[in-house]
């Protein structure tokens, strides 16, 4: 038996997660189900009750990983056809997931639902929309998404939109346009979390300037340790203290390991994006065929990021946002079953139970409660914001 199992840290981690729900901020299972060649979006056909060896998320391993709450991403690529329709289809897929496995998933629409789900022995299921392309430059869809259950919106994905700049694309909006600021205002009014995980550093700063509620970086690491543009710079991390927001450490190997980022530099564009529409595991294998084995990101390196995030943003402003998506994962974090191993490593780093309870879910629940409170206040103070991007030009 290796040291991880006999030093007592893993037992401590499991005991903690038995008491405190683990709330993961980002998982792309809905897109995996949609693009599965056999299931093609049919949740029942995908069969979450069996272990998917080629994937990383299913019910047996969610249970093994002691996941207590999950934000599922209603994701679509920026260039997907029919973006408004696709966003609704992805929200619908998450709702069908909840309906297909009622013994496992509790439809969660507010922070207090996490405790309700835990009492019932279920996983609280939250809906996030990843990518504002589905708005088609109109504010109205925000209200439909919220009515359908969405409680977080990642403003963009890997490409810039006319109203918000992506971290991994040339800028188009100078950070955030007037319409972009209106999107932030309406998300605040609706009680939805504004997520800056994919926006440029300048857009992060501008969102922090205008948001009336705490924001999230739902799946980002520390730029100081790995200079991928998707990671958060120190000045943004420091501002989370005043904003009340949260940064959620992510498992994407290229956001963890500087050595891997450097290795991949020649096969990616200058922003670090992989070729669009290519299976990530196949893409990595193709690079390795030319350059030899890639450096592997590790669980321990992710723990380094978490230690740094706590030091820079503060203990009250750090969480976990895995971004499991069926792609390559770090050594020790191959699937949703591995969360206890990460918390065991954090125990070894000197964190106590109180601190890790905050990282596991306490901080994200505080953010959700604050966002809900702001939404209730703003919804009484002002009417729904109307308009399309062209209405805010000039």
Q: Which residues are catalytic?
A: 26, 28, 130, 157, 198, 219, 323
Going by the DSSP 8-state scheme, the letter that residue 275 receives in this structure is P
Nearest in space to 56 (alpha carbons), one of 355, 330, 384: 330
Nearest in space to 129 (alpha carbons), one of 62, 67, 198, 178: 198
CB atoms within 10 A of CB 84: 15
Contacting residues for 99 by C-beta, under 8 A, at least 6 apart: none
Going by the DSSP 8-state scheme, the letter that residue 170 receives in this structure is -
Rounded (5°) CA angle 377-381-385? 105
- Are the C-beta atoms of 188 and 229 separated by less than 8 Å? no
- On the 0-12 / 13-18 / 19+ scale of CB atoms within 10 A, 317 is buried
- Are the C-beta atoms of 25 and 196 separated by less than 8 Å? no
Tracing tokens 């990983």 back to the chain, one arrives at: 65
The dihedral through the CA atoms of 189, 29, 221, 24 has a sign that is positive
């Amino acid at each position: 038996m290796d040291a991880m199992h006999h030093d007592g840290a893993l037992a401590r981690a499991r005991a903690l997660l038995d008491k405190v729900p683990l709330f993961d901020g980002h998982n792309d299972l809905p897109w995996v189900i949609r693009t599965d060649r056999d299931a093609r979006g049919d949740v029942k056909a995908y069969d979450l009750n069996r272990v998917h060896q080629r994937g990383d998320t299913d019910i047996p391993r969610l249970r093994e990983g002691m996941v207590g709450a999950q934000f599922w991403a209603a994701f679509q690529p920026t260039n997907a056809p029919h973006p408004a329709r696709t966003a609704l289809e992805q929200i619908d897929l998450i709702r069908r997931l909840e309906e297909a496995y009622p013994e496992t998933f509790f439809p969660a629409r507010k922070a207090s639902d996490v405790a309700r789900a835990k009492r019932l022995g279920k996983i609280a299921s939250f809906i996030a929309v990843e990518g504002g392309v589905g708005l088609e430059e109109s504010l109205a869809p925000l209200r439909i998404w919220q009515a359908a259950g969405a409680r977080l919106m990642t403003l963009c994905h890997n490409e810039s939109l006319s109203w918000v700049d992506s971290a991994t694309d040339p800028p188009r909006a100078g950070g955030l346009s007037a319409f972009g600021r209106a999107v932030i205002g309406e998300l605040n009014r609706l009680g939805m979390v504004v997520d800056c995980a994919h926006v440029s550093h300048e857009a992060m700063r501008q969102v922090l300037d205008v948001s009336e509620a705490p924001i999230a970086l739902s799946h980002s690491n520390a730029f100081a340790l790995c200079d991928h543009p998707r990671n958060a710079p120190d000045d943004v991390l420091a501002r989370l203290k005043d904003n009340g927001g949260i940064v959620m450490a992510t498992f994407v190997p290229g956001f963890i390991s500087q050595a891997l980022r450097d290795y991949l530099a020649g096969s990616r564009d200058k922003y670090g994006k992989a070729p669009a529409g290519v299976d990530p595991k196949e893409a990595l294998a193709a690079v390795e065929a030319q350059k030899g084995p890639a450096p592997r990101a590790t669980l321990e390196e992710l723990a380094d990021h978490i230690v740094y995030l706590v030091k820079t943003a503060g203990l009250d402003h750090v969480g976990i946002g895995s971004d499991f998506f069926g792609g390559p994962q770090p050594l020790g974090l191959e699937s949703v079953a591995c969360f206890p191993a990460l918390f065991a490593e954090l125990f070894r780093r000197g964190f106590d139970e109180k601190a890790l309870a905050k990282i596991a879910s306490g901080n994200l629940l505080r953010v959700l409660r604050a966002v809900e409170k702001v939404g209730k206040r703003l919804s009484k103070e002002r009417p729904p914001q109307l308009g399309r991007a062209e209405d805010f030009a000039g």
